[in-house]
Chains A and B, each alone.
Chain A
Amino acid sequence: MPPDMIPVPLSKIDKDRLALSGIDLAMKNRCGSYLQMDQDIVQSECSQEGIEVLTYKKAMEKYDWMKDYAWKAVSPDKDEITKYVAAQKDPKGYVIIAHRGSSNILPIQACLYLGRELIQHVHNIIIAEEGAELHIISGCTSGAHVGKGGAHYGVSEFYVKKNAKISFTMIHNWTEEVEVYPRSAAVVDENGVYLSNYVCMQPVKKVQMYPTATLKGENSVARFSSIAIASPTSFMDLGSRAILEGKGASAELIARAITKGGTIISRGHIMGKTAGTKGHLECKGLILKDGRIYAIPEIEGLVVGTELSHEAAVGKLAQEEIEYLMSRGLDEDEATATIIRGFLDVKISGLPEALQKQIDATIDVAEKAGF
């Protein structure tokens, strides 16, 4: 156990909340794990050959070249959040490196658990070297007891090298008092693939994030998907951005937003800077109870030969669809839940089955509770 790792016992409630976020403490179907509770690193290991899961501190000591990655995709001066994380004397977080040619079929899990402290800060760096394939599931959660003022500041930098692939699936499971500020960016090289999936079915006070992928390399690909439900007290400012720089680069940004009275701002921005690039943005919103879904899709083409498109729609459940299912014997609540479940069903191409199943399971739990 590295010196900065402290064993922290987990209660049954904590374990259940972790499981809801896709964190499997028994490590079934997982090849590696990083677990941080508040600022204490509980676990950091990986059994997969060629893949390292290190604490931020350890990675900085071990590899001199880490300085070429830290704060290179995300600027430390970007905003108050990045400044706070950059100012930490004892930075926490994880570094995952998939060395050249390595791959994991079972994902690595990274868990950030907010228990007692007011602000949890992390700085993560994820690197897939040339030809490597890396799948990560990140479950972020807080103890059921976390009260006012609890906040999570997370900086994540992704580097997808030539012919490499990273999929990053983030499942949020906070409480009504917690504020969350992820700051993520990815740089994708030639033929690289970056998949980013976000799921939040549970109440949270505030989430604000706008991960950006810069597709530098030729034929590089980014796909973002975001599935979120806003409870009456939730304010979720979500978005994703793709900058198409490399010739033939393409991006797809898909969002599904449901409000039960809260606010979801669903942003998206694709910029086509080079000929032969393609991008598509899709945002669908469903208003179950008066609240706010504010879709802001932006497409920005700078050159001849970039093709960008978007579709956005906000609406309600169609009575005709509900009654169609009722005529098959489903009661109104079952029919409604079945239609909402379908609305949220986004299949992400290129995602390993285990991760797709985890996303589906998270939505299934919400469905069972009647959304």
Chain B
Amino acid sequence: MLHIEDLHVKVGEKEVLHDINLHIGDGETHVLLGPNGSGKTTLLMTIMGFSNYTITEGKIIFKGEDVTKMHAHERAKRGIGMLFQRPPTISGLKLGKLLTAISREKDADIEKLAGSVHMDRFLERDINKGFSGGEIKRSEVLQLMIQNPDFVMLDEPESGVDLENISLIGTAIGSLLEKEKQIIKRQKSGLVITHTGYILDYLETDRGHVMCDGMIKCHGNPREILKDIKQRGYRECLECRQT
């Protein structure tokens, strides 16, 4: 699904990501762990194609196609989607209107999908304006349900969400990633950033990576990595020079 080779990324004049290599197969969900400021969000924004993130070396191959130089909307059309941790508030733009724009001519039952994540009462509200943490995440998930990407990136889906919502969001994300399907039939892939790991109680993941100082330091079983980090914190990761 996604193949990243020797990726170096600058934000402004500063190189933030160094020599990233990552391979996510069809139907796999990976988790990216790491301390604050380690470059996790930068990696997601780079994969999505945001203009502030300049790729100086390396490439991003998506479904066999080199998308390194493509604009965000071209990547979105090819099946890359992202749940933002802190999406912007857009004054006057109604959530319902945005969902219609995302759905295009497709026959999406917006009301019904909105109801499934308890966002039906928000369709006439300005997007993200005065939304609580949980409402922002539900709105993000709803947009992705309509966009229906093949590769879903999730930036801290549990941050700012209370316990009641986390299970709802976890289930909705699971359905975006076709978790109800047999592994062999699962096509959709995902990359989840989590800093607390709470979302992993609601979402099965296949592989974990730890990022520190703009580098991916290690790979492994996500639950084991999380257990390690919970016990020892990120200190050892920061000190780890093995890449």
Contact = CB atoms under 8 A, between A and B. Distances in A.
Pairing of A with B: yes
Interface of A: 318-321, 323-332, 334-335, 338-339, 341-346
Contacts of B126: 342
Nearest to A335: B73
Contact of A326 (B72, B81, B92, B94): B72
Contact of B92 (A320, A324, A344): A344
Contacts of A346: 92
Nearest to A344: B92
Interface string B181-215: 00000000000000000000000000000000000
B122 interface: no
11 contacts: A320-B88, A323-B50, A324-B84, A326-B72, A327-B75, A329-B147, A341-B92, A342-B93, A342-B94, A345-B92, A345-B94
A65 B231 CA distance: 89
A334 to B, nearest CB: 7
B82 interface: yes
Contacts of A332: 71, 73
Given A319-B51, A320-B88, A324-B87, A331 B73 contact: yes
Interface stretch (B34-42, B97-105, B218-226): B97-105
Contact of B91 (A323, A327, A328, A342): A342
Contacts of B147: 328-329
A329 B77 contact: yes
A119 B199 CA distance: 70
Contacts of B104: 329
B170 interface: no
B90 interface: yes
Nearest to A337: B101
Contacts of A339: 90, 93
B55 interface: no
Contacts of A343: 91-92
Contacts of B84: 324
Contacts of A342: 90-94, 97, 126
A285 to B, nearest CB: 13
B88 A324 contact: yes
A330 B73 contact: yes
B31 interface: no
A150 B188 CA distance: 62
Q: How large is the interface on B (under 10, 10 to 19, 20 to 34, 35 or more residues)?
A: 20 to 34
B48 interface: yes
Contacts of A323: 50-51, 72
Given A341-B93, A341-B97, 7 more contacts: A321-B90, A324-B88, A327-B49, A327-B50, A327-B75, A328-B102, A338-B97
A342 B91 CA distance: 6
Contact of B102 (A321, A329, A341): A329
B143 interface: yes
Nearest to B128: A324
A327 B92 contact: no
- Between A320, A325, A334, A344, the greatest number of chain B beta carbons within 10 A of the residue's beta carbon is seen for A325
Contacts of B87: 324
A143 to B, nearest CB: 33
A334 B100 CA distance: 13
A320 B48 CA distance: 13
A53 to B, nearest CB: 35
Given A323-B50, A338-B98, A342-B97, A328 B88 contact: no
Contacts of B71: 326, 331-332
Given A320-B88, A330-B73, A338 B93 contact: yes
Given A338-B97, A338-B101, A329 B76 contact: yes
A329 B81 CA distance: 9
Interface in B52-100: 71-73, 75-77, 81-82, 84, 87-88, 90-94, 97-98
Nearest to B48: A327
Q: Ordered nearest first, which 6 A-B pairs have the shortest CB separation?
A: A342-B93, A342-B92, A329-B76, A326-B72, A345-B92, A326-B73
Contacts of A321: 88, 90
B114 to A, nearest CB: 15
A326 B90 contact: no
A205 to B, nearest CB: 29
Interface in B87-142: 87-88, 90-94, 97-98, 101-102, 104, 126
Contacts of A328: 76, 81, 98, 101-102, 143, 147
